[in-house]
Amino acid sequence: MLTHTFCNIKGLSCRAEKRLWDLGVIFWDDYLKNRSKIFSEKKDKIIREEITASKIALKAPSIDFFFSRLPIEQKVRLYPYFKDNTVFVDIETTGLSINKDSITTIAAYDGKVVKNYINGQNLWDFIADITKSSIIVTYNGTKFDIPFIKKYFGVSLNLFHIDLCPVLHKLGYYGGLKKSERMLGIKRQVEDVTGKDAVELWNLYKNQNDKNALNQLILYNTQDVLSLEHIIIKACNKVMEDCPVFDIIPLKKQSLSPNKSN
């Protein structure tokens, strides 16, 4: 997808990118080989320089080069190229207060394996494990998950962050994670658990040593990160649907039953 991308270039919007696609300029090299006048001489020079820099950055590869240039909803285009360096993360907590409440469980999914972190068991392993990735993907993590993690663990997460909540808003999908899933046709295995239920499940586990309650909480937490993968795939396909070669580049949905590692 990145080799079809022009909206990371200074002065080129997504509308201008579509214009290039409609003119048959599908790949970066199509533009470099093109000698007809599409833009002004000054702008054309900048575009050619930016495309050359983009090719170098992709070969490097440099996530920062593209991340800093792409619009919010277009950052999902990074996923197909950097999926091996991407982790989907969701946290559960005892409440909504970053200053007063605690993290109970964390689910992290690298596209192959889900790892669950549990308060009182292996929660602090999350910090060491997360540094192995370059991109962290959340839903509303800018306002909740990331600040909570930073406060609770007292660390700075130096990862590139893709928050799928504003991405979906830009694409016309509004609401929380579950509403977004329904709008996108994503069906989860655990439908009847809410955020409030997640707190109660944790309390049952802590106060009554209810292992079944903990298992339900972990399953709920896990379903959230599995949904994030489906959402980013659908978002990738959405932003690229006008590309003339879209029929050969769409991402496929993955299984909702990955391997687990606790």
Alpha-carbon distance of 202 to 196, in angstroms, equals 10
For 106, list phi and psi in degrees, rounded to 5. -135, 135
Q: Which helix (H) or strand (E) holds 30?
A: helix 28-33
Could you please report the per-residue DSSP string of 183-202? HHT---S--S--HHHHHHHH
Q: Is the pLDDT of residue 258 over 70?
A: no
Q: What is the rounded average pLDDT of the residues 10-24?
A: 94
Report how far apart, in Å, the C-alpha atoms of 254 and of each of 177, 229, 251, 258 are. Answer: 18, 8, 9, 9
For 104, list phi and psi in degrees, rounded to 5. -100, -50
Q: Is the pLDDT of residue 226 over 80?
A: yes
Alpha-carbon distance of 8 to 217, in angstroms, equals 40
The predicted-structure confidence for 89-120, as pLDDT tens digits, reads as follows 999 999 999 999 999 999 999 999 999 999 99
Q: Is the pLDDT of residue 254 over 80?
A: no
Alpha-carbon distance of 9 to 46, in angstroms, equals 8
Lowest mean pLDDT among 24-28, 123-127, 180-184: 180-184
More confident residue, 234 or 254: 234
Q: Is the pLDDT of residue 249 over 90?
A: no
The pLDDT value recorded for residue 256 is 47
Beta pairing, strands 103-109 & 86-93: antiparallel
Lowest mean pLDDT among 10-14, 42-46, 133-137, 250-254: 250-254
Q: What is the rounded average pLDDT of the residues 195-201?
A: 92
Number of H helices, E strands in the chain: 11, 6
Cβ atoms of 58 and 69 closer than 8 Å: no
The pLDDT value recorded for residue 255 is 46
**CA quadruple 163, 252, 25, 51: dihedral sign:** positive
Q: Which helix (H) or strand (E) holds 162?
A: strand 160-163
Give me the chain's average pLDDT, please: 91
The C-alpha torsion from 71 through 14 and 55 to 250, rounded to 10°, is 90
pTM of the model: 0.92
Alpha-carbon distance of 58 to 76, in angstroms, equals 15
Is residue 47 classed exposed, middle or buried when 0-12, 13-18 and 19+ CB atoms within 10 A define those classes? buried
Q: Which helix (H) or strand (E) holds 93?
A: strand 86-93
The predicted-structure confidence for 144-166, as pLDDT tens digits, reads as follows 999 999 999 999 988 999 999 99
Alpha-carbon distance of 175 to 198, in angstroms, equals 19
Structure tokens at 43: 């702008």
Alpha-carbon distance of 23 to 98, in angstroms, equals 50
